[in-house]
Structure 1
Amino acid sequence: MTQNTEQNMAPVIEKKRLLSIDALRGFDMFWILGGEKLFAALFMISGWSFFQVAAEQMEHSSWHGFTAYDLIFPLFIFLSGVSLGIGAKPLTSYPADKAQSIVRHGYKRLFLLIFFGVLYNHGWGTGIPMALDEIRYASVLGRIGISWFVAAMLVWYVSVRNQWLVAIVILITYWLLLQFVTLDGLGGGNFSAEGALNVWFDQHLLPGITYRQLPMDPEGLLSNLPSIVNALAGVFTGRFIIKHRTNGGFLISRLCLIAIGLLLLGYAWDLIFPINKSLWTSSFVLVTVGYSMLLLTLFYFLIDVLGSHLWAKCLAVIGMNSIIIYLASSLVNWQYSSQSLFGGLISVLPAGWQQLTLYGGMLLLQWLFLYWLYCRKIFIKV
């Protein structure tokens, strides 16, 4: 590749914010907000096997294994790490009062995400006044908060070399724990939903209730440990982007090679430590980081290198208010709103088109709400 071509591939970007990150976060949230239901409707309309396969990929794996829908959660954690890697510095780089303010904000973010996670789960049991033992404290937002916070503390207080060391030690230690440690007959290489070591931790140390009263919560205590590596991987990726952002060809090729290497390593580890979202196994971490990097590389190339911005801004409208719309997806009945507005049209359409219109309308209403916030520069962040 010639030097001129390399220079043409160098994107003009702001140091602290990349449109590709907001767009990819919006793309990630799109499926949570109801986008996953569109494939089933399209299959009903067309009968094409492609949409059937896509609809199947929009379901979580039953236990071991991996589907596209399993990537949504770890991708969000990865992207939180990317933003951290782009913007954060060791606290020694700041004046003392600024460093204290940053740390206070980190704790605030952690506790707010844990609280919002309980709110999202409707986890207060039978209602107010709350029964503390009926609350589900574990949550998606709680895990995002924990993984981001630990990664932030490492960025603020620990050298880059030791951050890499921590990530490697976490993955290996977690595997050794689940493979060889036994507590009350649980663990010792048992990776089932009833017999994994995670069950012991959730039954003995996790306050409140588990998801659907299962023996192990999918966002339980022990599996928070490897999710930290998803955030750290995002940190390393963000730093790599900033370091090589003026050399687009090198950056994109290296990110792709690293991602493919992680995928190969993750699928190889799957042979002895199965890829499993609920257990958040080390092999699951490597595979999800690999796919996350490939997606980010694709979005970065299309948006920040080639300058394809229109569709990206449509997704960024979602990504820039991701927390508020995630909460709203639990607290607001968007399907009822869509049915109320478009019910007359829906009722006269064939079955497949009814589903497509219902869920398409639901997505449209959520996007319009976010666009209203976007136009007024209202960005609700934690």
Structure 2
Amino acid sequence: MNRLKSLDVFRGIAIVMMVLVNNPGSWATIYWPLKHAQWHGLTPTDVVFPLFIFAMGASLALSMGRQLGSERTAIIAGILRRSAILFACGMFLALFFYNPYSSDFNWFADRFMNVRVMGVLQRLALVYLLTALLVLYVPARQYIVWCFGLLLLYWAMMTFVPYRGNDGEVYQGLWQFGNSFAAWLDASVLGEHHVYYGDATPFAFDPEGLLSTLPAVASCLFGVIGGNWLLNSQVNGTGRKSFWLPAVATLVLGLVAVLWIPVNKALWSPTFVLITAGLSMLLLALLEVILSRSGKQVWAKPFVVAGCNSLFFFMLSGIVARLLFMIPVNGKPLKSYLFEQYFLSHFSPYNASLVFAIGFLFVMFIPTWWLYKKRWFIRV
């Protein structure tokens, strides 16, 4: 049970941090650790999403292990079903929006016809699909080869494939905001009206874009390796010790590679994958050691609660956050009204923004805790 608990806590930490950083009282007043890097670079917030992808990979290793002996067609059908549900949930959040503050807002024309195709859940869906198929067909001893193979392929495409702008200029090997092979592909396939950075020049792109899904699969495969380690670790601690060296080696390799390849979350650069995978492995190993000891470990309970119903927790927070904007109070969003009346009037701007995020997190915990008490776990 400790092994499963360590993974639940790991997943819970990732989803709690994801909800926390996504819901400040004001985007104008956020402490540095709760911000994403402006472009190249790494902040604690940048590590959150790859942590969750790593956790998804570890969970995949456990679930696929339980399906050994099942018909392959049935397993593939389950993979396709889960991927489709995740993608549909992401599209629901993308479309669940109305602007009551604009008299000429038209949901179909302004939202549906300009919907952002990719996003957090959409990326999870594609990464899960590709990783699960790899796990199904590739021997476990080859996972690490595929990890580095995908990173090498992505680096080669980003570095050596030329691409042409609308003005006819040819570019190659750039890792710039709005100017990379990944950005060109997003602009060419998805179009400027269906990506997050639609105004980026010379190419509109999405931080959860198409090409960067490849290195994200590598992040998930590192998680599969971590999940297999959890399955194989022994009570006497021998298995636990065996994970520290590859974790540190992966982290160091990523730090050294920064000399040649920038760390960039929006492009999911190979160095970003290696550094965050190393950190993820270290955190998982640390949690396994801590949670294997006796004691109540009350501190872990909230993370277990969130980790056991992570999709519900994320969807609920996304829906409530949108409702807080869509419900008007005195001509302004309900969120702004609550923030100004009950937070900004009692705290400094930065502290008010943080306390609001913590309060939002606490409210999201209430129904999630109720589900946990009922032993209802919503999975796809």
Normalised to the residue count of structure 1, the TM-score between the two structures is 0.82
Quote how far apart the aligned CAs of 1:235 are: 0.7
1:25 correspondence with 2:11: yes
**1:153 corresponding residue in structure 2:** 133
Taking the aligned partners of 1:68 and 1:350, their CA distance within structure 2 comes to 24
Please say if residues 18 and 304 of structure 1, whose CA atoms lie closer than 8 Å, have aligned partners that are also in contact.
Answer: no
1:116 correspondence with 2:89: yes
1:229 correspondence with 2:218: yes
1:174 correspondence with 2:154: yes
1:63 correspondence with 2:39: yes
**Do the aligned partners of residues 276 and 165 (structure 1) sit closer, same or farther apart at CA in structure 2, a change above 3 Å counting?**
same
1:310 correspondence with 2:310: no
**Do the aligned partners of residues 100 and 130 (structure 1) sit closer, same or farther apart at CA in structure 2, a change above 3 Å counting?**
farther
Taking the aligned partners of 2:337 and 2:25, their CA distance within structure 1 comes to 23
| 3-state DSSP of counterpart to 1:88 | helix
Choose 351-360 or 157-166, whichever is displaced more. Answer: 351-360
Please say if residues 90 and 155 of structure 1, whose CA atoms lie closer than 8 Å, have aligned partners that are also in contact.
Answer: no
Please say if residues 324 and 380 of structure 1, whose CA atoms lie closer than 8 Å, have aligned partners that are also in contact.
Answer: yes
1:103 correspondence with 2:76: yes
**Do the aligned partners of residues 38 and 257 (structure 1) sit closer, same or farther apart at CA in structure 2, a change above 3 Å counting?**
farther
Question: 1:228-250, CA deviations, whole angstroms, 9 ceiling, x for partnerless residues?
Answer: 011111111111221123232x3
Question: 1:43-97, CA deviations, whole angstroms, 9 ceiling, x for partnerless residues?
Answer: x9xxxxxxx9xx3121111111111100111110100111112231497x4243x
Taking the aligned partners of 1:197 and 1:180, their CA distance within structure 2 comes to 9
| Residue identity in the other structure for 2:318 | S
Taking the aligned partners of 1:271 and 1:172, their CA distance within structure 2 comes to 16
1:210 correspondence with 2:186: no
**1:329 corresponding residue in structure 2:** 317
Among candidates 260, 277, 281, match of residue 293 of structure 1: 281
Quote how far apart the aligned CAs of 1:251 are: 3.1
Please say if residues 29 and 318 of structure 1, whose CA atoms lie closer than 8 Å, have aligned partners that are also in contact.
Answer: yes
Question: 1:294-313, CA deviations, whole angstroms, 9 ceiling, x for partnerless residues?
Answer: 11112111113455532212
**1:34 corresponding residue in structure 2:** 20
Quote how far apart the aligned CAs of 1:369 are: 1.5
**Do the aligned partners of residues 341 and 83 (structure 1) sit closer, same or farther apart at CA in structure 2, a change above 3 Å counting?**
same
**1:365 corresponding residue in structure 2:** 363
Taking the aligned partners of 2:347 and 2:278, their CA distance within structure 1 comes to 41
Please say if residues 234 and 240 of structure 2, whose CA atoms lie closer than 8 Å, have aligned partners that are also in contact.
Answer: no
Counting helix residues as a fraction of each chain, which structure ranks higher?
A: 1
Quote how far apart the aligned CAs of 1:180 are: 1.2
**Do the aligned partners of residues 252 and 122 (structure 1) sit closer, same or farther apart at CA in structure 2, a change above 3 Å counting?**
same
Quote how far apart the aligned CAs of 1:35 are: 6.0
- Trace 1:345-356 onto structure 2 (pairs within 5 A): 349-351=346-348, 355=353
**5+ long unaligned stretches in structure 1:** 1-12, 45-51
Please say if residues 18 and 49 of structure 2, whose CA atoms lie closer than 8 Å, have aligned partners that are also in contact.
Answer: no
The alignment yields a C-alpha RMSD, in angstroms, of 3.1
Taking the aligned partners of 1:132 and 1:339, their CA distance within structure 2 comes to 26
Question: 1:317-336, CA deviations, whole angstroms, 9 ceiling, x for partnerless residues?
Answer: 11111112212222114868
Quote how far apart the aligned CAs of 1:117 are: 1.4
- Trace 1:239-278 onto structure 2 (pairs within 5 A): 239-248=228-237, 250-278=238-266
| 3-state DSSP of counterpart to 1:200 | helix
| 3-state DSSP of counterpart to 2:179 | coil
Taking the aligned partners of 1:262 and 1:139, their CA distance within structure 2 comes to 27
Taking the aligned partners of 1:76 and 1:323, their CA distance within structure 2 comes to 11
| Residue identity in the other structure for 1:85 | A
**Do the aligned partners of residues 37 and 308 (structure 1) sit closer, same or farther apart at CA in structure 2, a change above 3 Å counting?**
farther
**2:374 corresponding residue in structure 1:** 376
Please say if residues 263 and 286 of structure 1, whose CA atoms lie closer than 8 Å, have aligned partners that are also in contact.
Answer: yes
**Do the aligned partners of residues 338 and 18 (structure 1) sit closer, same or farther apart at CA in structure 2, a change above 3 Å counting?**
farther
1:194 correspondence with 2:170: no
Please say if residues 59 and 69 of structure 1, whose CA atoms lie closer than 8 Å, have aligned partners that are also in contact.
Answer: yes
Taking the aligned partners of 2:133 and 2:244, their CA distance within structure 1 comes to 28
| Residue identity in the other structure for 2:44 | A
Please say if residues 35 and 363 of structure 1, whose CA atoms lie closer than 8 Å, have aligned partners that are also in contact.
Answer: no
1:77 correspondence with 2:61: no
Please say if residues 95 and 112 of structure 2, whose CA atoms lie closer than 8 Å, have aligned partners that are also in contact.
Answer: no
| Residue identity in the other structure for 2:236 | N
Taking the aligned partners of 2:171 and 2:230, their CA distance within structure 1 comes to 40
Question: 1:126-154, CA deviations, whole angstroms, 9 ceiling, x for partnerless residues?
Answer: 52489765121111111111112211111
Taking the aligned partners of 2:24 and 2:319, their CA distance within structure 1 comes to 22
Among candidates 32, 51, 69, match of residue 94 of structure 1: 69
Please say if residues 123 and 134 of structure 1, whose CA atoms lie closer than 8 Å, have aligned partners that are also in contact.
Answer: no
Taking the aligned partners of 2:271 and 2:313, their CA distance within structure 1 comes to 30
Taking the aligned partners of 2:112 and 2:356, their CA distance within structure 1 comes to 38
| 3-state DSSP of counterpart to 2:292 | helix
Taking the aligned partners of 1:189 and 1:347, their CA distance within structure 2 comes to 46
Please say if residues 338 and 358 of structure 1, whose CA atoms lie closer than 8 Å, have aligned partners that are also in contact.
Answer: no
Taking the aligned partners of 1:141 and 1:350, their CA distance within structure 2 comes to 34
Alignment length (residue pairs): 352
